[in-house]
A = this chain, B = another copy of it.
Amino acid sequence: MAIIVKKFGGTSVGNIDLIRNIAHKIAQEYGSGDGLVLVVSAMAKTTDELFSLAYGISQCPSRREMDMLLTAGERISMSLLSLALMEEGVPSISFTGSQSGIITDDKHGNARILKVNAFRIHEELAKGKVVIVAGFQGVSLNKEITTLGRGGSDTSAVALACYLGAEKCEIYTDVDGVYSADPRIVDHPAMIKSISPSLMLTLCYSGSKVLHPRAVEFALKYGVKVEVKSSFTFAPGSIIENPPDMKINYPKEQNPKEDNMEERTVSAIAHKEALICYKLLVTDAMLEALSTWNLEVFKSYVIDKNIELFIEAKYEKEADYILKNRNIEIVDKIANLAFVNLVGLGLGHDPAILASVMQICKPFEIVRCLNNEQSVELLIPQPYLKEAVQTLHKHFIG
Residues of chain A having any CB pair with chain B under 8 Å = 112-116, 155, 159, 161-167, 196-198, 201-202, 205, 213-214, 217-218, 220-225, 242-248, 250-251, 255, 258-263, 282, 287-288, 290-293, 297-304, 307, 309, 345-346, 348-349, 351-352, 354-356, 358-359, 362, 366-374
Contacts and interface: CB of A to CB of B under 8 A. Distances in A.
A159 to B, nearest CB: 6
Given A218-B261, A220-B345, A224-B246, 17 more contacts: A113-B262, A161-B246, A164-B251, A198-B198, A198-B220, A222-B246, A223-B242, A225-B246, A290-B358, A291-B352, A292-B352, A293-B355, A297-B349, A300-B370, A301-B369, A303-B303, A304-B367
A303 B306 CA distance: 13
Nearest to A161: B246
Given A221-B345, A223-B244, A261-B113, A201 B354 contact: no
Contacts of A155: 262
A202 to B, nearest CB: 5
A255 B116 CA distance: 12
A368 B300 CA distance: 11
B261 A159 contact: yes
**Number of copies of this protein chain within its complex:** 2
A161 to B, nearest CB: 8
A162 B113 CA distance: 37
Most chain B CB atoms below 10 A, which of A167, A223, A282, A309: A223
B351 A201 contact: no
A374 B346 CA distance: 17
Q: Which 6 A-B pairs have the closest CB atoms?
A: A223-B243, A198-B198, A302-B369, A290-B355, A291-B355, A112-B262
A348 B201 contact: yes
A165 B246 contact: yes
A246 B223 contact: yes
B371 A300 contact: yes
Contacts of A263: 112
Nearest to A103: B259
A91 to B, nearest CB: 25
Contacts of A114: 259-262
A166 B263 CA distance: 22
Contacts of A282: 358, 366
Nearest to A159: B261
A293 B222 contact: no
Contacts of A349: 205, 213, 297-300
